[in-house]
Chains A and B, each alone.
Chain A
Amino acid sequence: MAGIIGYGAYIPRNRIKVEEIAKVWGADAPSYKKGLMLEEKSVPSPDQDTITMSVEASKYALKRAKIDPREIGAVYVGSESHPYAVKPSGATLGEALGAAPEFHTADLEFACKAGTEGMFIALNLVRSGAITYGLAVGADTSQGAPSDALEYSAAAGAAAFIFGKDNLVAEVLHTYSYTTDTPDFWRREHQDYPLHGGRFTGEPAYFKHVTGAAQGILAKSGMKAADFAYVVFHQPNGKFPLRVGEMLGFTRKQIDPGWLVPRLGNTYSGASPLGLTATLDIAKAGDMILVVSYGSGAGSDGFILRVTSRIDEVRDLAPRTRDMLDKNLNYLEYGVYAKYRRKIRKAE
């Protein structure tokens, strides 16, 4: 049986409120807050990116896994904001952790589910015996186009998982992937910002794939919603995960521990992975957790996990997700936010 032997989260401390963004664009803040169920989002400092956050989250995962980084056989960083278009984030991450040179890496992209991509691959490499330990990270510092709806929610964060066969924190019992060609949200090469299909991103995209994967994994495993202590859905805004949860028969109590978006924003490839780290932070031995990610383009990955008693030993070996979400925050004005996010044109 393979599963998670260590996990870690990283959320930058800067925040910007919905009101602050709305003020600049003359938009109605209350209706954005209500419509998106969103208060504020995280903002990376100029010296943070997908790689730096991945390194910190992975170091925390190593603290919980208690393994020698040289034994990590594969490193996958899933993101839609890799610092380089060509030169893998995984190479820098592997070097920084001390896993180099004996490891495999390849960067992954699948909009918001690139993190769970990596998890799927690392898990299966471990299951097959090809590697002893595999590290998967979902991290993003995605951009929202100025004044677009996505500007309110595009946030930054990272979650890292180390997979192995021994000393599991959570066994992975089942996986299921559901993928189609659905152009709901995309970014062409050399474009600064993604485009999206507005309301098309709802029912034919997010809902179709999340429910498709959820129903598929429940059928495959013979389980039902009530069997789970917790469920984590991809969270592009506050509303979608609550609505899909309701559609699938889950309660607020199951959803809430992993529902970070109202004060975090959408961390894209980090979204459902961070929901999972926050859930592991409070779970107990025997809890069943369902994770269903979503990435535009489009697809969903489902995972069913069972928490082991080792969670009690490791949860406090590194910072908890909610502590990073709630504490030591630094609120930005729009001007500074725009400067940090390089949205201001300067002389060459």
Chain B
Amino acid sequence: MPNPAKSWREIPQRYRLEAGKCTKCGAIAFPPRLVCPQCGNREFAATKLADAGKLLTFTIIRVAPGAFEDQAPYAAGIAELDDGARLTAQVVDCDFAKLKVGMRVRLEFRRVSEDGAAGVIHYGYKFVPE
């Protein structure tokens, strides 16, 4: 079981979608970084990701890693948010048959995993149909 520090550190991103916007080229870095992946600039303005977008691709995971076994099958996808940033997350509250490339989704706060029944609960974002 990892030290709680590892997931606690990601709270600003997992709870509030805090990101960085490059002051030179405008690229959005999520999570925030020290170096812009687009232009190499080192300065960023604090920003937050848009909370809705459209699915670029998705899948239904049926064979899951240990911590997610009870959730299987579950859908996951990559969405392009309305600010142009891309995000990977599970897709929930959607019948599998209704999943489509291009469908609109928004983000909701959900439990993502836990370190066992006695361990820390990890909260974060998931996609739901808009």
Q: Which residues of A are in contact with B by a Cβ distance under 8 Å?
A: 13, 45-49, 51-52, 55-56, 59, 83-84, 92, 95-96, 98, 328, 330, 339, 346
CA distance A45 to B111 in the complex (A): 10
Interchain CB contact under 8 A, B92 and A95: no
Q: Does B110 contact A (CB under 8 A)?
A: yes
What are 14 residue pairs bridging A and B, where the CB atoms are less than 8 Å apart in the complex? Answer: A13-B93, A45-B93, A46-B70, A46-B71, A47-B110, A47-B126, A51-B111, A52-B108, A52-B110, A52-B123, A59-B109, A84-B121, A96-B109, A98-B16
Interchain CB contact under 8 A, B15 and A46: no
Interchain CB contact under 8 A, A48 and B111: yes
CA distance A51 to B95 in the complex (A): 24
Q: Does B103 contact A (CB under 8 A)?
A: no
CA distance A246 to B119 in the complex (A): 48
Interchain CB contact under 8 A, B71 and A47: yes
CA distance A330 to B95 in the complex (A): 9
Q: Does B112 contact A (CB under 8 A)?
A: yes
- The interface residues of chain B lying within 8 Å CB-to-CB of A346 are 70
Cβ of A339 to closest chain B Cβ, rounded Å: 8
Q: How many A-B residue pairs have CB under 8 A?
A: 47
Q: Does B11 contact A (CB under 8 A)?
A: yes
- The interface residues of chain A lying within 8 Å CB-to-CB of B110 are 45, 47-48, 52
CA distance A13 to B110 in the complex (A): 14
Closest B residue by C-beta to A83: B121
Contact A47 B92, CB 8 Å, known A52-B109, A52-B123: yes
CA distance A47 to B109 in the complex (A): 9
Cβ of B66 to closest chain A Cβ, rounded Å: 12
Closest A residue by C-beta to B93: A13
Give the interface centre of B92, B95, B111 by most chain A CB atoms within 10 Å. Answer: B111
Closest A residue by C-beta to B110: A47
Cβ of A135 to closest chain B Cβ, rounded Å: 15
Interchain CB contact under 8 A, B70 and A92: no
CA distance A46 to B67 in the complex (A): 13
Closest A residue by C-beta to B11: A95
Closest A residue by C-beta to B51: A59
CA distance A83 to B119 in the complex (A): 11
Q: Which of B82-130 contact A (CB under 8 A)?
A: 90, 92-93, 95, 108-112, 121, 123, 126
- The interface residues of chain B lying within 8 Å CB-to-CB of A83 are 121
- The interface residues of chain A lying within 8 Å CB-to-CB of B71 are 46-47
Interchain CB contact under 8 A, B16 and A51: no
Closest B residue by C-beta to A14: B93
- The interface residues of chain B lying within 8 Å CB-to-CB of A95 are 11, 15-16
- The interface residues of chain A lying within 8 Å CB-to-CB of B92 are 45, 47
CA distance A192 to B16 in the complex (A): 32
CA distance A59 to B110 in the complex (A): 13
- The interface residues of chain A lying within 8 Å CB-to-CB of B15 are 92, 95-96
- The interface residues of chain B lying within 8 Å CB-to-CB of A84 are 121
CA distance A266 to B11 in the complex (A): 32
- The interface residues of chain B lying within 8 Å CB-to-CB of A45 are 92-93, 110
CA distance A221 to B16 in the complex (A): 43
Checking A46, A56, A330 against B109 with a beta-carbon cut-off of 8 angstroms, the contacting residue is: A56
Closest B residue by C-beta to A339: B70
- The interface residues of chain A lying within 8 Å CB-to-CB of B11 are 95
- The interface residues of chain A lying within 8 Å CB-to-CB of B95 are 330
